[in-house]
Amino acid sequence: MPSRIWQTLWPGILLLLGLRLAYGLWALPNPDEAYYWLWGQQLDWSYYDHPPFHAWVQGLAAMALGQGCWVLRLPTVLSSGLFLAIYYRLCGHLYGSQQRLAFGVLLGALLASPLYFIYLAMAWQDQWLMVFSLFSAAGLVQFLEQYQASSPRYGQLYGAALGLGLAGLCKYTALFVGLAALGVIVTHTPSQLRRRALYGALAIALLCQVPILIWNAQHNWLSVAYYVTRSVDSGSAGLRLKPLEVLGFWGLCGLILSPVITWALWRVCRGPILARCPAIYRAMALWLFGVSTGLLSVVALFSTALHYWNILAYLLLLPLLPAFFLQVATPNLPSAPPSSHQPALSLRPAWRHRRLFQIMQGVGIIAALALLVNGSVFPLAALAGPDGDHESRILYGWEQVANAVQTQLAAMPATTQVLTTDYRSAALLSYALRSHAPKQPPDCLENEPCQPAVLAVSTRKDQFDIWAARQSFEDKPVLLLADDWHPITPETAAALPALTRPGDVEIWHRGVFIKTYRLYRSIDM
């Protein structure tokens, strides 16, 4: 790689990699990380909120390596490595002998994107969803290009189907990849619809979903109903259009992806770069973006769509960023799909938008540093006052809370059930009891099924409701933890035995008040 390119790329890449490593080692567990970790301690065919793949990985990691934040996030190292390896291969497919140059620019952009910094660093389902979705989309592109060249390799088709099936075991938004693939096949290779191999590949993808079907059959199709109903939040007044929600969804998607990357991809799609790509690759990239963004925009029009649900939309557009930031040679428009000797895009070792690339990396470094400080040193929003940004405040003080809970449990019967008022606090307390308290409540009580030592009771339906349905809290001692974010409600109090309040747990960090937790326990038990 030419030294002038290297001088711009690697300082930012090395700094961002260092921040990523520091985040993985030092950032406190996020509530959802603890929630999915808890799933791994209660292995099942699937779960209420999401499919099971990530929980299985967490369970295997815990069984093999024990407890610890580094074990919790170790799978993210593997998933990130696989994700980048697939992108390296794609750069070879698009840029030929300039593969390493293109990959260096792509790596610099990926690390500088707050979206990919967060969702590749956090131990969530999204990391594996991206790996398998990218593997599936890239495999299908290569298969269809070979098919058009009359030399199909059906192993690539079956591999793409397996990747799609595994993506479906990570998150249900993998459906976007399948719909995009169908769109490409119908518009570019319709003869595939008459071939048995395509339906064999479809069978592979569907067979991967058997664990989800088993779980739903065992639980009255609760997960299916949850995802069908959550997309429409109409309330009692019926369906109402919310155009501002759509604009907010688009704006947040572009902001979290990175304003510079969003602008660069806009220019790529409007300019000649996309036109120079192989037809199948271009079609798959646009179909995936259109299906994901379009369907989620419809959801946002009536309900709420979150920006990270759209994380698959950019997978095949991102490898085109090197052709935006670097100079591109004379257009090369091959009549046949490009091979490794005939790249679709030919780069020159000279910057076209060097200053813009540096701005992108600078903004990415600031965002990554803020995330690291907020998650491991101090919740930054706490400097503004005692209210706001509950998501950051809830990360701190769990060793103190776990010790207070353990003190109360020492004076209560062994059959006491620990409860909280939200899934976040239940998951973090479960994790803290395993990590900090010298003796945690048993997961399996005598004559009762195995379940988490801590359960959540709230109006929100979640996996804790599935576990809690195995027992009744009547005539059973309970210890309940509530906080300012999710205080105890009259409905919760009515469903439990009479409670008394033994005290509060105030959390202070570096001399600044964070929040207050309130403990409630059964009376005369």
Burial of 173 (0-12, 13-18, 19+ CB in 10 A): buried
Q: Is 252 within a domain?
A: yes
Q: Is the pLDDT assigned to residue 504 strictly greater than 70?
A: yes
Same domain, 329 and 458: no
Give the span between the Cα atoms of 433 and 415, in whole angstroms. Answer: 16
Q: Could you list the beta-strand ranges (E) of 86-225.
A: none
The H or E element that residue 516 is part of is strand 512-522
Give the span between the Cα atoms of 64 and 74, in whole angstroms. Answer: 12
pTM, 2 dp: 0.92
Q: Is 381 within a domain?
A: no
pLDDT at 340: 39
Q: What are phi and psi of 420, to 5 degrees?
A: -135, 175
| Percent of the chain with pLDDT strictly greater than 70 | 90
The DSSP result for 78-126, as a single string, is: HHHHHHHHHHHHHHHHHHGGGHHHHHHHHHHHHHH-HHHHHHHHS-SHH
Same domain, 60 and 90: yes
Same domain, 406 and 294: no
Query: How far from 438 is each of 171, 403, 414, 433, 442, CA to CA, in Å?
Result: 36, 9, 16, 8, 12
- The answer to whether 170 touches 82, Cβ cutoff 8 Å, is no
Confidence of residue 338 (pLDDT cuts 50, 70, 90): very low
Structural domain including 444 reads: 392-522
Q: Is 479 within a domain?
A: yes
Give the residues across from 507 on adjacent strands.
Answer: 515
Same domain, 306 and 446: no
Same domain, 276 and 337: yes
Q: Is 383 within a domain?
A: no
pLDDT at 386: 74
Summary count for the chain: helices (H), strands (E): 23, 7
Q: Is 158 within a domain?
A: yes
Parallel/antiparallel/unpaired status of strands 478-483 and 417-420: parallel
Burial of 318 (0-12, 13-18, 19+ CB in 10 A): buried
pLDDT at 334: 46
| CA atoms in the 13 A half-sphere facing the CB of 492 | 21
pLDDT at 434: 84
- The answer to whether 278 touches 337, Cβ cutoff 8 Å, is yes
User: Which range, of 128-142, 145-159, 349-363, 427-441, averages the lowest pLDDT?
Assistant: 427-441
| CA atoms in the 13 A half-sphere facing the CB of 327 | 8
pLDDT at 139: 97
Same domain, 363 and 407: no
pLDDT at 438: 46
pLDDT at 238: 56
pLDDT at 203: 98
Same domain, 13 and 157: yes
Q: Is 191 within a domain?
A: yes
Same domain, 163 and 306: yes
Give the span between the Cα atoms of 49 and 232, in whole angstroms. Answer: 16
Confidence of residue 333 (pLDDT cuts 50, 70, 90): very low
Same domain, 459 and 312: no
Q: Is 376 within a domain?
A: no
Same domain, 297 and 422: no
- How many structural domains does the chain have? 2
- The answer to whether 260 touches 356, Cβ cutoff 8 Å, is yes
Q: Is 387 within a domain?
A: no
What are the pLDDT digits (tens) for 261-306?
999 999 999 989 998 999 999 999 999 999 999 999 999 998 889 9
Q: Is the pLDDT assigned to residue 524 strictly greater than 80?
A: no
Same domain, 342 and 412: no
Parallel/antiparallel/unpaired status of strands 512-522 and 478-483: antiparallel
What are the pLDDT digits (tens) for 220-258?
999 988 887 765 554 445 567 888 899 999 999 999 999
Same domain, 190 and 248: yes
